[in-house]
Amino acid sequence: MLYTPVLMLVIFLTVQFALTWYGNEVAGAVARETARVVRVGGGTPASVAEARTHAQEYTDAIGGASFRDLQVQITQPDALTVRVTVSGRSLEIVDGFAPRVSATVQGPIESFRPDA
């Protein structure tokens, strides 16, 4: 009789943990893809705008309804590097219960360098 509520709580927590883990994976994939767009575009303002649009489209494609409240922050710590931080909320069983998930990716801005 006492085991049923405990078992239900364990199942609830396990499912919520899995949904949060999945949301974190989606955030990481979107951060990598967004950083790729900025890096290939040379870090220009046009590539940053394109990356923000691409981030939303990519999130909808791979995350669907399981990733909400997308926020994308794109910065350049220096002239040769780009840093993308993606955050949002994973799917929740109970509203407000799941933590916010985020992922950060940093890499060099790609540029053509002719052979010497």
For position 56, which CATH number holds? 3.10.450
Number of domains present in the structure of the chain: 1
pTM for this prediction: 0.87
8-17 residue pLDDT tens: 999 999 999 9
Going by C-alpha positions, the residue among 81, 102, 77, 86 that lies closest to residue 51 is: 86
- The CA-atom distances, in angstroms, between 115 and each of 89, 108, 112 are 46, 19, 10
pLDDT range class, residue 110, cuts 50, 70, 90: confident
- Kindly state the tokens that stand for 43: 């870090």
Integer Cα distance of 38 and 96 in angstroms: 32
Of residues 31 and 96, more confidence is placed in 31
Q: Is residue 89 part of a domain?
A: yes
Q: Is residue 47 part of a domain?
A: yes
Domain that holds residue 24: 3-108
How high is the pLDDT of residue 49? 94
Kindly calculate the radius of gyration of the chain based on its CA atoms and give it in whole angstroms: 18
Q: Is residue 74 part of a domain?
A: yes
Q: Is residue 71 part of a domain?
A: yes
Q: Is residue 51 part of a domain?
A: yes
* Burial classification of residue 22, based on how many CB atoms lie within 10 Å of its CB (0-12 exposed, 13-18 middle, 19 or more buried): middle
